[in-house]
Chain A
Amino acid sequence: MISFFNPLLLFGILGAGIPVVIHLINRKKAVSHKFAAIDFLLRSDKRIQIKFKFRQWILLILRTCLFAFLSIALAKPFVTNLGGMTAGKNVPASNVIILDDSCSMHYVQQNKTFFQSAKITAKKIVENLTKEDDVAIITSADIASQILPELSHDKENILNSLERLQPGYGIMQITSALDMAIEILHTTEAPKKKIFLLTDLTENGWDFTWFESEHQKLKKYVSGVHIVDLSEGETLENVAVTQVTPVLNVSEKGGESRIIVTIDNFSPSGKKNLLTRVFVDQKMVSQGFFDIDAYESKTKEFSFYIEKGKDHIGRVETFGDNLAIDNTRYFFLNKVQQLEALLIDGDPKTNIYESETFYLEKALNPEREHASCIETAICSVHEVHNIRFDDFDIVFLCNVETLPQEKIKELETFAQNGGAVIFSLGNRVEAEYYNNAFRTLLPQQLYTTRTFSSDNSLSDERPLFLKTGVTAHPVMRDFSETYVGFLSSVNIYRLFYINPTPVENTQTILLYSDDTPALIERQVGLGKTVLLTTTIDRSWTDFPVKPFFVPLMQQLCRYVSGTVPGEIQNEIVVKQEWQYPCPYGISGIEIIDPKGTKRSLQPQFVQNESAFLYDETHIPGIYAITVEGKSHAQFPMCFSVNLDASESKLKKIDPKKITALMGDINFTLTASHRDEERTVLMGDAKKTLWGLFLFFILCMLVAESYISRK
């Protein structure tokens, strides 16, 4: 059945009478001429007159049709959709309106965001529903926040809910939304079931594989899918700050910091002199210009001076497109965690190369320029009484035979208050003394030594090597497999076996090849203690000269001091879960989002570890972390949440692809939300015919021109 978008223009059909009137007027106005030789005219006119009249009639019909067809074409005819399970217009229908609330819907076109246009369109759809129709409304970027997940007849409530809707910051997940819509519709008994998808039609979220697997389901439970392209089919331009990487300056010598900024141009045209500014603590600290070709990205480094020893929050902003939301990217600069390590050498030698701490000291601070952020101090056992352990973060006891009793007490207090103590053994270590003196600190009781070198007459066994446990300890998580592979090249010639009696709060970091513990960690109060059951120099092992030794020692220091970089999520994207390991003795934290909403978190167990999880990262910005209302030394001050850069790509999906995806499903794609006609919005329009009529008009014009010229 043919319907019209602009039926009022059909009055133009009256214009078809114009040629008739002109014909009659012309006939009336035909010049009269008295002519003598009229006999010859009549004689010759008999046949020609018939031909002439016939031609006149044809011309008259053509011209009349021309006006009529033009009027019809302007009235935009279309064939009413007769597909689906029911064809009648008055059949009750269940409808699910999916609003795309992804980040790209913030795009401003004609002083309105796409999302605002989507709301207007959704309201119109709801207003066009009959009393028998019901509707549910869901959003595509965040299924969890569906507005009306159940079908309802209450138009007023639906419209109010729509009014309250706000665009999200997540990525488009159309297939999830369709799944939800099918779930809603498959329960209803309504003969007509429709899904309205109001979107900007960008490529994001269109999962082709979902359509392959769920096509039949969609066809079975839905009688029509009607997509309204709110971008009106236009090519969208966008630039976005897609990456901001702070480069930490670990040196205390200068206050200069750097960040690396990447800006992507997702537009079909190049961008020149794109102003970009860096703000730190609400102050602009640097700015620059980007020239980026179409569909290219550019990276620049910005340098600025900031106060050292403090945490800083900042953002990078660029300007000049219609999607402003992705023009800003937030970052967080941790204060540099400088560690102070005391290395107590139990076996100092005149030749420093033979000293117990030689390799360790080199491993912790290879360049002596604080490149590792670990500053070392070495002392002998005799010098210990002059040293306060509290001045350090970590204390290494390297093959220490004994310690004064008061220093042992101080060491215990040091560990209880959050300090880290790392024991390495050697030929000076007496198991019994250690087990008694360091009972509260040692992760495990020492048992006895054993030698594995074939060169040693005491043993005929091959040297052991190192390996990781079944579950990777946090110290080991950030190492690549290649590095971990180096462990097997380590030769252990002698070691201390430990007492297998389990001790609370211990974890094995590394094992020997015979599955006995090599490196063990223990939580002591707020601090940690670690035991290496062999030497930290080359006396019992060649571990100190293996490539793995340096990173392992540094990582171990950061771990025991609570500053492992891998454990701190400085930047995450919207909707991504923030996770932070729970330090000992912390029972809860608070997260304050950019809007100022505070949420308290309790630690949860994740992969056998206690950690804080936060999943309400709905909006981009800086999220503050507090413990009992204050920032805490064991937590970063805040973390930043940014947009997923994939939503900045506004490349449109080809309508042909959608047609292919939909296959034989009854579907319509409306290019403009301005087509406010009910037939379009409600998906009743199937195929437009004005092109066909215009073609007819063209043919008639040609015919008219040919006949009248002849």
Chain B
Amino acid sequence: MAEHPFDPVTLSKIANMELRAKLVADAVLTGIHKSPYKGSSIEFLEHKEYSPGNEIKHIDWKVQARTDKYYVKQFEEETNLRCYIFLDASGSMGYKSTGMSKYEYASALAASLSYLLLKQSDLVGLIGFADTAQRFIPPRSRLTHFHVLINELVMLKAAGKSHISKILNEFVEKVSRHSLIIVISDFFDDMKEMMHQLKSFQFRKNEIILFQVLDPYELTFPFETITYFESMEDDRRVLAEPKTIKERYLFEINRFIEQFKHQCFENQMDYWLVNTSAPLHQTLINYLARRKSALYPFLKI
């Protein structure tokens, strides 16, 4: 039986991130082909009375003929999206049970989103971080910028401690207003601080989308034998008998997810839980289908 081309395991074997991102983006585009939201990228929005300084070529002569006044057309291209993708590259993102690690999945997700956005001439920037910002690629809209992003994503390795709120705080001033902030992380950090910083972004009229990437083992905890669980970010380790601890663990992690989700909802942030066992393109399609309101204004596809 032929292997599904977009299975996470298969994808993990594809070293070329660019190819991977394009495959995912193409699949997404194919998947949303029948979407009622497709249209031109430069659309007429409204008329505005001419004032000195306006370009003459934008004067709507038909209106002038009817009304004897000069009006200039205003176009939607003025709403070009500026997107910042915050990609968590801390040690915990390196966790991998089967197939792709969380980081691999997250970077593929970031690359796919970048491709989609760049393809419609939006500006896409990237901040790869752990406890500090390891990479910052300012937003550009050229398609060649995609290669830069891909290179950075490939260069980044999951390592170090995670400190999301600190990074957010660092970039809250640097990020332009009315930008789209996409944070891809497992969000294993202090929830209160994170929300505080995210709200700061929101305050600056930024739209926030949060992708919480978790491994299926983190969600189901299927361990059987007595195991030393070692932290991926520091030296902590714990010897535990999984059968004993499973119930309690699942309760704790689900409570965290639910609380995070609830706070996102309360603060009108778009939250999406991503399980790395799910095919990436399917994750995107599902997300776009459900959360059209979040991305639609920006994705003119």
Are B238 and A31 within 8 A (Cβ)? no
Residues in A44-80 with C-beta less than 8 Å from chain B: 44-45, 47-49, 51-52
Report if A34-B248 is in contact (Cβ < 8 Å); known contacts: A40-B253, A42-B238, A45-B240: no
Asked whether any CB of chain B lies closer than 8 Å to the CB of A110, the reply is no
Give the complex CA separation of A47 and B247 in angstroms: 13
Residue A37 interfacial (CB < 8 Å): yes
Q: Are B227 and A31 interface neighbours, CB within 8 A?
A: yes
In the bound complex, do residue A38 and residue B245 qualify as a contact, i.e. CB atoms below 8 Å apart? no
A83 to chain B, nearest CB (A): 52
| Residue A32 interfacial (CB < 8 Å) | yes
Give the residue of A26, A36, A39, A52 whose beta carbon is less than 8 angstroms from that of B244.
Answer: A52
Minimum CB distance partner of A43 in chain B: B252
What is the minimal beta-carbon distance from B245 to any residue of chain A, in angstroms? 5
Instruction: Report whether B245 and A45 are in contact in the complex, using a CB–CB cutoff of 8 Å.
Output: yes
A30 interface residue (CB < 8 Å to B) = yes
SS of B interface (majority): mixed
Chain A, interface size category, equals 20 to 34
Distance to closest chain A CB from B160 (angstroms): 13
Dominant secondary structure at the A interface: helix
Choose, from B17-25, B134-142, B171-179, B229-237, the stretch at the interface: B229-237
Q: How far is the CA of A617 from the CA of B95 in the complex (A)?
A: 102
Binds A, one of B40-48, B198-206, B218-226: B218-226
Query: What distance in Å separates the Cβ of B280 from its nearest Cβ neighbour in chain A?
Result: 19
Question: B227 touches which one: A32, A37, A39, A40 (CB < 8 A)?
Answer: A32
Query: In the bound complex, how far is the Cα of B237 from the Cα of A41, in angstroms?
Result: 10
Complex contacts, A33 vs chain B, CB 8 Å: 223, 227-230
Provide the bound-state CA to CA distance between A39 and B92, in Å. Answer: 11
Interface centre among A34, A37, A42 (most CB of B within 10 A): A37
Q: Which residue of chain A lies nearest to B226 when distances are taken between CB atoms in the complex?
A: A30
- CB contacts (< 8 Å) of A35 on chain B: these are 95, 217-218, 229-232
> Which of the four size classes fits the interface of chain B?
35 or more
Question: Contact between A44 and B248 (Cβ–Cβ < 8 Å)?
Answer: yes
Partner of B229, one of A27, A38, A43, A47: A38
The one of B102, B225, B236, B252 in contact with A40, judged by C-beta atoms closer than 8 angstroms, is: B252
The residue among A32, A35, A39, A40 with the most chain B CB atoms within 10 A of its own CB is A35
**Chain A residues with CB below 8 A from B95, complex form:** 34-36
Q: Would you give the 0/1 interface string for B166-207, flagging 1 where the beta carbon is closer than 8 Å to chain A?
A: 000000000000000000001010000000000000000000
Chain A residues within an 8 Å CB radius of B81: none
B149-168 contacts to A, CB under 8 A, are none
Interface residue? B258 (CB, 8 A): no
Could you say which residues of chain B place their CB within 8 Å of the CB of A32?
227-228, 230, 237
Q: Are A52 and B215 in contact (CB under 8 A)?
A: no
* Distance A35 CA – B229 CA, assembled complex (angstroms): 6
Q: Are B239 and A30 in contact (CB under 8 A)?
A: yes
- Check B245–A44 contact: CB distance below 8 A: yes
| Neighbouring B residues of A38 by C-beta, 8 Å | 229-232, 236, 238
A309 to chain B, nearest CB (A): 101
A34 CA to B227 CA in the complex, in Å?
10
Query: What is the CA–CA distance of A355 and B91 in the complex, to the nearest angstrom?
Result: 148
Contact of A36 with B215 in the complex, beta carbons under 8 Å: yes
Q: In the assembled complex, how far is the CB of residue A46 from the closest CB belonging to chain B, in whole angstroms?
A: 9
Q: Which residues of B contact A49 (CB under 8 A)?
A: 238, 240, 245
Q: Please tell me if the beta carbons of B245 and A31 are within 8 angstroms of each other in the complex.
A: no
Closest chain-B Cβ to A22's Cβ sits at a distance in Å of 12
The 3 closest A-B pairs by CB, nearest first: A44-B248, A36-B95, A36-B92
**A/B interface sample: 22 pairs, CB < 8 A:** A26-B226, A27-B239, A30-B228, A31-B228, A34-B231, A35-B95, A35-B230, A35-B231, A36-B94, A36-B95, A36-B218, A37-B253, A38-B230, A41-B229, A41-B238, A42-B238, A44-B248, A45-B248, A48-B240, A48-B248, A51-B244, A52-B240
- Chain B residues proximal to chain A, CB less than 8 Å: 91-95, 102, 186, 188, 214-215, 217-218, 223, 225-232, 236-241, 244-245, 248-249, 251-253, 256
Apart from A35-B217, A36-B95: 11 A-B pairs, beta carbons within 8 A: A30-B225, A30-B239, A31-B226, A31-B227, A35-B218, A36-B94, A40-B252, A44-B248, A44-B249, A48-B245, A51-B244
